[in-house]
């Protein structure tokens, strides 16, 4: 029985993540989100070959989603990316609308 509850929880979390991604795509930061999600693993590896930095990429994606949820503007998002540090900034520079801002 606990296996079913765990599976239900997994599906609920997947639905919540899908809904959050949809809101982000539909929001004003949607183009940034699409460009970030469009980066291939090879492109990320070219930016930063340290495999631990993949986590920083995922954190950047989460930040864009959070920025959408909190109705941040682009300037606030850029400030947060700068706070994340060098790896996040290098990744963000691959997004055309952020490249000259970070």
DSSP 39: -
Instruction: Tell me the three state secondary structure of residue 26.
Output: helix
Element (H, E) at 51: none
d(CA 28, CA 83): 21
Which tokens belong to 46? 């070219």
**36-95 pLDDT per residue, tens:** 989 988 888 888 877 777 888 999 999 998 998 888 888 999 999 999 999 999 999 998
Element (H, E) at 40: none
The model scores a pTM over 0.85: no
d(CA 48, CA 13): 29
Which tokens belong to 14? 């997947």
User: Comparing 18-22, 23-27, 97-101, which segment has the lowest mean pLDDT?
Assistant: 23-27
- Is the pLDDT confidence value at 22 over 60? yes
Domain spans in the chain, listed from the N-terminal domain onward: 2-92
């Amino acid at each position: 029985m606990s296996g079913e509850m765990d599976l239900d929880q997994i599906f609920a979390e997947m639905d919540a993540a899908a809904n959050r991604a949809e809101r982000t795509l539909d929001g004003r930061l949607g183009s940034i989100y699409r460009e970030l999600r469009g980066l291939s693993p090879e492109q990320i590896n070219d930016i930063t070959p340290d495999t631990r930095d993949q986590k920083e990429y995922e954190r950047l994606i989460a930040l864009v989603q959070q920025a959408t949820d909190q109705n941040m503007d682009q300037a606030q998002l850029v400030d947060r990316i700068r706070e994340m540090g060098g790896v996040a900034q290098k990744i963000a520079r691959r997004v055309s609308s952020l490249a000259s801002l970070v």
